[in-house]
Every structure is written in structure tokens, then in C-alpha cells.
């Protein structure tokens, strides 16, 4: 009898303390059991709420399962017990309705307090428009002349198991979002196509990106560092391949970075104008085109240009890619409304569009031999 009771107490103890193991550090490792604490005041509050409710649940579980287990051990027919015949008690029913009710309402108070703080996006120091599109994120700094797309940087060969996978496999991008530490950063989140969800676990920020609507969220990061997350809402084929990477820098470093970026976009625009008067040769167009194709087009039209039958059309052997150059440029520049084909006017430079159209007209046996120049793209883009 005592033995059974001792074992019983042991299991209860183990069950009670088990949530404590593996409590959050800021970087996930294999066999991580619990939520990360994160790096903002809000994320720590969320972590505390999570631990509180989990412990409440664990205690309820231990009590209920404990009583049940006791009954299963000591009220077995094989021990010769005779069943009691009680079958109702208003007092007990009221007690186990009221007690959980009170516990929950008490729990709702800190939860509501944190929630109110999370939803207060006023008085932000920096505002960034975050736009999801299949399958990348676009960041636009509202107060500065800085905007860019952020794409998965993991190589396709890693995904197809030809290369060894790096340590940030699927959680790395070509151009991360950069934000200042110690400042309130507001995110205005929207989408170009389907619903995505922008999630950085370390900030406890997860907000859906709804096409046609703008959601707000904010964070204030205390520690400089690199923080990684992923798209959380199923958004089509490559939903699993659109990570979010945020670098938090000290404010001074951040200011330098912004200046640098503004300089880069200025010179890019000058370069773009200059290119309008120049012709690139086939070789250059094809090599730039292939690079652009792999990052911007291959997700749907596939690296071999064959598309996914019934889902994404093939470019290889397509009538437009072989015979209709203006239409081809127009499709890439303006997209096809009502389908998954987006407009690339904002995402790619004229040179890149020229190169990728040239590539599509000359790769995989599409041997038109034609080149497309930036000025051709400009003509269609600006109606000249």
C-alpha cells in the first residue's frame, strides 16, 4: 500500500516539475522542449503567461489524473470492493463549476493586460511596411528611401539533399530586415496575393498579411542580434520556404546602414537610366537572366521552364515565349490579374527584366535568338 503511494507521489512530482526543463533560451536547439523567452519585454510577458497557464493546466491535470489513478488502483472489482451507489451532488457540481471559472477569470487579467500592450502601436519611432508575396517578403522603410525584397538564401541543392545543409537551413535570406535596438518599430503588414503571416518568435510578433488590408504590430528589441522566423500561414506551394530574418543593430549602426542603403538605391536609379541608352550582348543578358530566373521565376515555372501542369504554365515551347515579344515583356512587367502571376515592375530593375525575358526566350530549346534590351522594357513600362 505504502509502496504504491510513494510511486504515486514520485510521478506527481515529476509531472509537476517537467515543464521547467528546457525553459526558453533565445536560440532553439535540437530537443528544445519549451517556448523561447524571446528578446523583448512583450515576448517575456508572453512567455510568463505561457508558463503560468501551462502550470495551471499541469496542476489541474495532476489532480484529476491523480484522483482517477487512485480510483483505478483502489476501486477495482478484483480487490473485492462493492460499488457505492451515490450518483449526484449539487454541492460538488457547483464547486467544480465555480472553482475553474474563478481560476480562469483570474488568469484572464494578466492576459488582457499583455494583450492591450501588444495592440498599442502608437508613437512608433520607425515604421516599416511589410508585404508578403508568393514566396518572399518585401520591406519598405516609410521614413527613408529604402525598400527591397527578402528571399530565401538556402541553395536548392541543399533542399534536394545534394549539398550538405547549413546550420541556418531554411532560416536564411539574401537581405534581412534591419531594425534599431531600443526603438519602437511599427510594422504595417499586408500582402500582394494570398494571406501570409509574418512571424518572429523572439519578438512574439505574428500577424497575418491580408491582401487589400493593413495590419499593425510593433516590437522594441533590447539586444542586438539576428532573429529568425517563418511565414506561419499556408500560402501555397513554397509556404515552407519564405523565412523572416531580422537583424537588430545599435541605433548609430542602424543610421549608417540606412544611409548606405539610400546611397545604393540612388545609384541604382542612375544606373538604370544610363542603361536605357545601352545595349547588352546576348551572353551578358543570358547570364544575368538565368540568375534572375532562378530567384524570381523558378519557384512556379520550375528551373526547367516546364511549370506545373494544371497549376503553373510552362514557358518552354510556349507561344508567347516563342512568338510574341511585346506580350511577353508585358506579362512580366504587369503580371496577369486574377492569377498567381504577379507584376515584377517593382521587384526587378529594367535590366533584370530585359535579361530574364531574353533568357526565357532562349533557354530550354526556346531558340528565338532574340535579345530584349532595357529600353524595350521601358517602352512597355512607361508606354513610350
Partner 1 sequence: MSTVVEDIHHDDHHHHAPTGLKRWLNTTNHKDIGTLYLWFAFIMFLVGGAMAMVIRAELFQPGLQIVDPNFFNQMTTVHGLIMVFGAVMPAFTGLANWMVPLMIGAPDMALPRMNNWSFWILPFAFTILLSSLFLEGGGPNFGWTFYAPLSTTYSNDSTALFVFSVHIMGISSIMGAINVIVTIINMRAPGMTLMKMPLFVWTWLITAFLLIAVMPVLAGAVTMVLTDKFFGTSFFDAAGGGDPVMFQHIFWFFGHPEVYIMILPAFGIISQIVPTFSRKRLFGYASMVYATASIALLSFVVWAHHMFTTGMPLFGELFFMIATMLISVPTGVKVFNWVATMWRGAITFEIPMLFALAFIVLFTIGGLSGLMLAITPADFQYHDTYFVVAHFHYVLVTGAVFSIIAACYYWLPKWTGKMYNITLAKWHFWCSLISVNVLFFPMHFVGLAGMPRRIPDYALQFADFNQWISIGGFAFGLSQFIFLALLIKACKKEGEEVSAQVWDGAEGLEWEVPSPAPYHTFETPPVVK
* Residues 240 to 269 in contact with partner 1, rule: CB under 8 A: 240-241
- Does position 57 interact with partner 1 (CB under 8 A)? The reply is yes
Range in contact with partner 1 (rule: CB under 8 A) among 5-13, 71-79, 281-289, 364-372: 71-79
Q: Per residue in 112-123, is it b (16+ CB within 10 Å) or e — as a string?
A: eebeeebeeeee
Q: Which of 336, 380, 323, 335 is nearest to 354 (CA)?
A: 380
Q: By C-beta, is 191 or 362 nearer to partner 1?
A: 191
CB of 104 vs partner 1, minimal distance in Å: 4
What CA–CA distance (Å, rounded) separates 147 from 164?
32
Instruction: Classify 237 in phi/psi space as left (phi over 0), alpha (psi -120 to 50) or beta.
Output: alpha
Residue 253 C-beta: closest distance to partner 1, Å: 27
Residue in 4, 104, 142, 255 binding partner 1, rule: CB under 8 A: 104
Whether 151 and 136 have beta carbons less than 8 Å apart is answered as: yes
Which residues is 244 bridged to in the sheet?
Answer: 229
User: Of 20 and 104, which CB lies nearer to partner 1 in the complex structure?
Assistant: 104
CB atoms within 10 A of CB 126: 19
Element (H, E) at 225: strand 225-231
Cα–Cα distance, 296 to 70 (Å, whole number): 62
Q: Does 17 bind partner 1 (CB under 8 A)?
A: no
Q: Among residues 9, 96, 266, 274, which is the contact residue for partner 1, using CB under 8 A?
A: 96
Mention every residue, 6+ apart, whose C-beta is less than 8 A from residue 315.
Answer: 297, 301, 305, 307, 321, 360, 364, 366
Q: Does 318 bind partner 1 (CB under 8 A)?
A: no
Q: Which is nearer to partner 1, 237 or 375 (CB)?
A: 237
Exposed e or buried b per residue across 207-238, where buried means at least 16 C-beta atoms within 10 angstroms of its C-beta: bbbbeeeebebbbbbeeeeebbbbbbbebeee
Which CB, 85 or 283, lies closer to partner 1? Answer: 85
Min. distance of Cβ 171 from partner 1 in angstroms?
A: 5
Applying CB under 8 A, does 87 fall inside the site for partner 1? Answer: yes
Which of 286, 284, 287 lies closest to 275, judged by CA? Answer: 284
Residue with smaller CB distance to partner 1, 14 or 268: 14
Among 247, 340, 345, 381, contact with partner 1 (rule: CB under 8 A): 340
Per rule CB under 8 A, is residue 85 in the interface with partner 1? yes
Show contacts with partner 1 in window 212-241 (CB under 8 A). 212-213, 215-216, 229-241
Task: Say which residue the cell 528571399 belongs to.
Answer: 151
Q: What binding mask, one character per residue, do residues 106-145 give for partner 1 by CB under 8 A, x or -? A: -xx--xx-xxx-xx--------------x-----------
The answer to whether 68 contacts partner 1 (rule: CB under 8 A) is yes
Which residue in this structure is represented by grid cell 504590430? 217
Selected from 1, 86, 365, 369, the binder of partner 1 by CB under 8 A is 86
* The binder of partner 1 chosen from 122, 252, 310, 384 (CB under 8 A): 310
Show contacts with partner 1 in window 149-178 (CB under 8 A).
Answer: 158-161, 165, 167-171
Q: How far is the CB of 29 from partner 1 (least distance, A)?
A: 6
Q: Is 316 in the site for partner 1 (CB under 8 A)?
A: no
C-beta of 57 vs 142, nearer to partner 1:
57
Report the alpha-carbon distance of residue 297 to residue 328 in Å, rounded. 14
Q: Counting Cβ atoms within 10 Å, is residue 130 exposed (0-12), middle (13-18) or buried (19+)?
A: buried
- Complex with partner 1: residue 195 or 320, whichever CB lies closer: 195
Question: What SS3 state is found at 136?
Answer: strand
365's grid cell: 530549346
Closest CB 147 distance from partner 1, rounded Å = 22
60 part of the interface to partner 1, by CB under 8 A: yes
Does 75 contact partner 1 by CB under 8 A?
Answer: yes
Binding residues for partner 1 restricted to 173-212, rule: CB under 8 A: 193-195, 197, 199, 201, 204-208, 210-212
Amino acid at each position: 500500500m505504502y509502496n504504491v503511494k510513494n510511486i504515486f507521489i514520485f510521478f506527481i512530482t515529476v509531472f509537476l516539475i517537467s515543464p521547467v526543463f528546457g525553459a526558453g533560451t533565445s536560440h532553439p536547439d535540437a530537443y528544445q522542449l519549451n517556448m523561447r523567452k524571446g528578446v523583448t519585454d512583450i515576448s517575456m510577458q508572453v512567455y510568463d503567461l505561457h508558463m503560468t497557464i501551462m502550470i495551471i493546466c499541469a496542476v489541474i491535470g495532476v489532480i484529476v489524473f491523480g484522483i482517477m489513478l487512485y480510483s483505478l488502483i483502489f476501486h477495482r472489482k478484483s480487490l473485492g470492493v462493492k460499488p457505492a451507489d451515490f450518483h449526484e451532488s449539487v454541492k460538488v457540481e457547483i464547486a467544480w463549476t465555480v472553482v475553474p471559472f474563478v481560476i480562469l477569470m483570474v488568469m484572464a487579467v494578466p492576459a488582457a493586460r499583455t494583450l492591450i500592450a501588444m495592440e498599442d502601436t502608437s508613437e512608433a519611432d520607425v515604421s516599416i511596411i511589410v508585404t508578403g508575396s508568393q514566396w518572399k517578403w518585401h520591406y519598405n522603410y516609410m521614413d527613408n528611401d529604402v525598400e527591397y525584397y527578402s528571399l530565401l538564401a538556402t541553395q536548392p541543392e541543399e533542399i534536394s539533399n545534394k549539398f550538405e545543409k547549413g546550420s541556418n537551413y531554411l532560416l536564411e535570406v539574401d537581405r534581412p530586415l534591419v531594425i534599431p535596438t531600443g526603438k519602437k518599430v511599427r510594422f504595417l503588414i499586408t500582402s500582394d496575393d494570398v494571406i501570409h503571416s509574418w512571424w518572429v518568435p523572439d519578438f512574439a510578433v505574428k500577424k497575418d498579411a491580408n491582401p487589400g488590408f493593413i495590419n499593425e504590430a510593433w516590437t522594441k528589441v533590447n539586444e542586438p542580434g539576428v532573429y529568425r522566423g517563418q511565414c506561419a500561414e499556408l500560402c501555397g506551394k513554397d509556404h515552407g520556404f519564405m523565412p523572416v530574418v531580422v537583424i537588430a543593430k545599435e541605433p548609430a549602426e542602424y543610421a549608417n546602414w540606412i544611409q548606405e542603403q539610400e546611397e545604393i538605391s540612388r545609384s541604382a536609379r542612375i544606373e538604370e537610366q544610363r542603361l536605357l541608352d545601352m545595349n547588352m550582348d546576348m551572353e551578358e543578358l543570358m547570364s544575368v537572366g538565368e540568375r534572375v530566373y532562378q530567384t524570381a521565376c523558378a519557384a512556379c515555372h520550375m528551373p526547367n521552364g516546364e511549370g506545373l501542369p494544371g497549376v503553373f504554365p510552362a514557358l518552354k515551347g510556349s507561344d508567347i515565349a516563342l512568338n510574341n515579344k511585346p506580350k511577353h515583356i508585358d506579362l512580366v512587367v504587369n503580371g496577369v490579374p486574377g492569377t498567381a502571376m504577379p507584376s515584377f515592375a517593382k521587384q526587378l530593375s529594367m535590366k533584370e527584366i530585359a535579361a530574364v525575358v531574353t533568357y526565357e526566350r532562349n533557354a530550354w530549346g526556346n531558340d528565338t535568338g532574340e535579345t530584349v534590351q532595357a529600353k524595350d522594357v521601358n517602352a512597355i513600362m512607361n508606354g513610350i
